[in-house]
């Protein structure tokens, strides 16, 4: 029996990170050839090493998504080396600082926007050009529940993820005539991992009325706000992404699916 994504090529950005690698692993296990992009060359090489058991092509590309020209060249190289791009998991991101808006560092705000918004736009537009020519493709952008309801102390991150949901809706309209579907996923609290530890610690440090100043208590407060009373596991994400790439979601475009425990 052929695997569901045999013969397909998927581009994954932020592929050396937690969610990117989890999705890349699932795509490989379903037969897709992979183009893995990340700014961190060493982590990217490690990520590739964990995927070698899968009988698919895995090419890695060190690429800074904030650099539009570098993204253009990388996408061109991917098409030259792997032949086509069927799926894009547009996922590279940075959480930014934690501070109330009146103290939020402007340079960090700009950096979050550069990576999360401009970076996602650069990748989306260059991959879309290729997909438009083929009149086919599937795109999933990683937003966040921080892009649905603004969390305290996360001005840049919250604004950037609202922007991703907007970008998803616009791109879905622009690309619908070309048989390209564009959707978003919105994870909320995922753990364990760097992002979880970092946000628990930094929300405690930010010292607002919303969270305790003790990281352990912050963790409990966050978990207590989730109807399912637990944080999500990274492995609860890939199946949602592959669903959005698959024909099972063939009439869905421009939607944002929360992965949030309620």
The site for ligand NAD (CB under 6 A) is made up of 13-14, 16-20, 38-40, 43, 64-66, 91-94, 115, 119, 142, 144, 187, 190, 194-195
CA distance 27 to 156: 31
Nearer to ligand NAD by Cβ, of 6 and 225: the residue is 225
Nearer to ligand NAD by Cβ, of 79 and 92: the residue is 92
In whole angstroms, how close is the CB of 251 to ligand NAD at the nearest point? 26
Nearer to ligand NAD by Cβ, of 179 and 233: the residue is 233
How far is C-alpha 68 from the geometric centre of its chain's CA atoms?
A: 18
| 11 CB-near residues (< 8 Å, 6+ apart) | 34, 35, 37, 75, 78, 85, 87, 88, 89, 123, 127
The single residue of 157, 178, 210, 251 carrying the catalytic annotation is 157
Q: Of 168, 235, 255, which Cα lies nearest the Cα of 23?
A: 235
In whole angstroms, how close is the CB of 245 to ligand NAD at the nearest point? 17
CA distance 36 to 49: 12
In whole angstroms, how close is the CB of 7 to ligand NAD at the nearest point? 27
Nearer to ligand NAD by Cβ, of 33 and 38: the residue is 38
Burial label for 4, CB within 10 Å (0-12, 13-18, 19+), is middle
Nearer to ligand NAD by Cβ, of 13 and 30: the residue is 13
Active site residue 157: yes
In whole angstroms, how close is the CB of 91 to ligand NAD at the nearest point? 5
CA distance 60 to 156: 29
| 6 CB-near residues (< 8 Å, 6+ apart) | 31, 32
CA distance 5 to 87: 10
Residues acting as catalytic residues: 157
């Amino acid at each position: 029996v052929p695997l569901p994504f045999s013969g397909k090529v998927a581009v994954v950005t932020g592929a050396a990170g937690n969610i990117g690698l989890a999705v890349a692993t699932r795509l490989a296990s379903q037969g897709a050839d992979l183009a893995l992009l990340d700014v961190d060359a060493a982590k990217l090489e490690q990520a590739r090493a964990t995927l070698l058991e899968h009988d698919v092509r895995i090419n890695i590309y060190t690429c800074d998504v904030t650099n539009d020209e570098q993204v253009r060249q990388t996408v061109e190289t991917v098409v030259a080396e792997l032949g086509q791009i069927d799926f894009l998991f547009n996922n590279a991101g940075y959480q930014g600082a934690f501070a109330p808006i009146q103290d939020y560092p402007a340079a960090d705000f700009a950096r979050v926007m550069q990576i999360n918004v401009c970076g996602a736009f650069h990748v989306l537009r260059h991959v879309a050009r290729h997909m438009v020519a083929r009149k086919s493709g599937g795109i999933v952008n990683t937003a966040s529940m921080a892009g649905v309801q603004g969390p305290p102390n996360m001005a840049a991150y919250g604004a950037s993820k609202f922007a991703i949901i907007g970008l998803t809706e616009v791109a879905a309209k622009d690309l619908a005539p070309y048989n390209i579907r564009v959707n978003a996923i919105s994870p909320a609290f995922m753990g364990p991992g760097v992002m979880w530890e970092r946000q628990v610690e930094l929300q405690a440090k930010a010292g607002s009325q919303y969270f305790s100043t003790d990281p352990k208590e912050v963790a409990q407060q966050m978990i207590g706000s989730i109807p399912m009373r637990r944080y999500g596991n990274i492995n609860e994400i890939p199946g949602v992404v592959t669903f959005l790439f698959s024909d099972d979601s063939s009439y869905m475009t421009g939607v944002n699916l929360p992965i949030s425990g309620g």
